[in-house]
Structure 1
Amino acid sequence: MMHAEQAISLELAEKSLLGSMLAENYLIMDSSLKLDHFTATHHQLIFSTMQELASAHKSVDYITLMTVREPMELGGANYIVDLKNYANPTKFNEYAEILFTHWQQVTKQQILAQAQQENWTIEKIQTQLDSITDSDTQLETSITNALVEAANRPYEPSSAKSGIHTDLRDFDRMTNGFQDGDLFIIAARPSIGKTDTMNHFAIHAGFKGYLPIIFSLEMKRELLIDRMIAATGNINRLNLRDPYTTMSDAQKAKWTQAIGLLNNAKIQIDDRPAMTVPQIRATARKLMKQYPDRKPLILIDYLQIIRANNPKDNQTQQVGQISRDLKQMAREFNCPVVCLSQLNRGVEQRQEKRPVMSDIRDSGNIEQDADVIAFLYRDDYYDKESESKNLLEIILAKHRNGPTGTVTVAFVKETGRLLNLDWNGQR
Structure 2
Amino acid sequence: MTLQTVELSVELAEKSILGTMLKENYLISDSGIHAEYFNTQIHKNIFLGMQELVSTNKPADYITLLTVKEPSELGGANYLLDLINFENTVKFEQYQKILSDHWREQKKNNILFQAQAENWELPAIQKALDNLQNQQNVSGVTSVKEKLVSMAERPYVKSVSQKGITTGLRDLDKMLNGFQPSELTILAARPSMGKTDTMNHFALSAGWAGYLPILFSLEMSEETEIDRLIASTGSYSRLKMREPFEYFTDEQKKKWIPTLTRLSQANIEIDDRAGLTVAEIRAKARQLIKENPNQKPIIFIDYLQIIRGENPRDNQTQIVGQISWDLKQMAKEFKCPVVCLSQLSRAVESRQDKRPMMSDLRDSGNIEQDADVIAFLYRDDYYDKESENQNLLEINIAKHRNGPTGAVMAAYIKETGRLLNIDWGHRQK
TM-score (norm 2): 0.96
Aligned match of 1:22: 22
Structure 1 residues 5-47: Cα deviation after superposition (integer angstroms, max 9, x where no partner): 3222222211111111001111111112222221111011111
Rounded to whole Å, the distance in 1 between the matches of 2:400 and 2:241 is 38
Aligned match of 1:110: 110
Query: Which residue is 1:69 aligned to?
Result: 69
Structure 1 unmatched runs, 5+: none
Q: In structure 2, how many angstroms separate the alpha carbons of the residues matched to 1:196 and 1:131?
A: 52
CA contact (8 A) 1:32 1:136 kept: no
* Structure 1 residue aligned with 2:343: 342
Which amino acid is 1:409 matched to? Answer: A
Q: What percentage of residue pairs aligned between the two structures are identical?
A: 60
Q: Give the whole-Å Cα distance in 2 for the aligned partners of 1:108 and 1:356.
A: 50
Q: d(CA) in 2 for partners of 1:192 and 1:208? A: 26
2:37 is matched by which residue type in structure 1?
H
- The answer for unaligned runs of 5 or more in structure 2 is none
Give the structure 1 partner of residue 286 of structure 2: 285
In the alignment, the residues of structure 2 paired with residue 286 and residue 150 of structure 1 have an alpha-carbon distance, to the nearest angstrom, of: 36
Give the 3-state SS of the residue equivalent to 1:190 in structure 2: coil
Offset, 1:2: 5.8
Written as runs of structure 1 = structure 2, the 5 A alignment for 1:43-82 is 43-82=43-82
119-128 vs 187-196, which moves further: 119-128
Per-residue deviation, residues 279-313 of structure 1 (Å, max 9, x unmatched):
11111111111111000001111111111122222
Q: Determine the C-alpha separation between the residues in 1 that align with 2:150 and 2:236.
A: 49
- Once the two structures are overlaid, the 10-residue window that deviates more, 87-96 or 131-140, is 131-140
Q: Does 1:197 align with 2:203?
A: no
Q: Which amino acid aligns with 1:330?
A: A
The answer to whether the 8 A contact 2:20-2:86 is kept is yes
Give 2:403's aligned residue: 402
Is the contact made by 1:233 and 1:258 (CA closer than 8 Å) also made in structure 2?
yes
> 1:117 Cα deviation (Å)?
2.8
Residue equivalent to 1:86:
86
Q: Distance in 2 between matches of 1:112 and 1:314?
A: 41
Residues in 2 aligned to 1:99 and 1:131: alpha-carbon distance in whole angstroms: 19
2:387 paired with 1:417? no
**Equivalent residue letter for 1:158:** S
Q: CA deviation at 1:425?
A: 7.1
Aligned residues of 1:26 and 1:286 also touching (Cα < 8 A)? no
TM-score, normalised with respect to structure 1: 0.96
Match of residue 36 from structure 1: 36
Q: Which residue of 1 aligns with 2:253?
A: 252
The 1-side partners of 2:126 and 2:378 are apart by 54
User: Structure 1 residues 121 and 426 mapped into 2: Cα distance closer, same or farther (>3 Å)?
Assistant: farther
Tell which deviates more after alignment, 400-409 or 315-324.
315-324
Q: Secondary structure at the match of 2:123?
A: helix
Structure-to-structure mapping, 1:257-406, within 5 angstroms: 257-406=258-407
Deviation at 1:82, TM superposition (A): 1.4
Aligned to 2:119: 119
Give the root-mean-square deviation of aligned CA atoms: 1.7
> Is the 2:168–2:206 Cα contact (8 Å) retained in structure 1?
no
Paired residues for 1:89-100 under 5 Å: 89-100=89-100
Query: Do the aligned residues in 1 keep the contact of 2:168 with 2:201 (CA within 8 Å)?
Result: no
SS of alignment partner, residue 300 of structure 1 = strand
Which letter does structure 2 place at the counterpart of 1:204? S
Distance 2:121 2:217 in 1: 55
Compared with structure 1, are the counterparts of its residues 343 and 121 closer, same or farther at alpha carbon in structure 2 (3 Å cutoff)?
farther
Kindly tell me: are residues 124 and 353 of structure 1, through their superposed partners in 2, closer, same or farther at Cα, counting changes over 3 Å? farther
| 1:7 match | 7
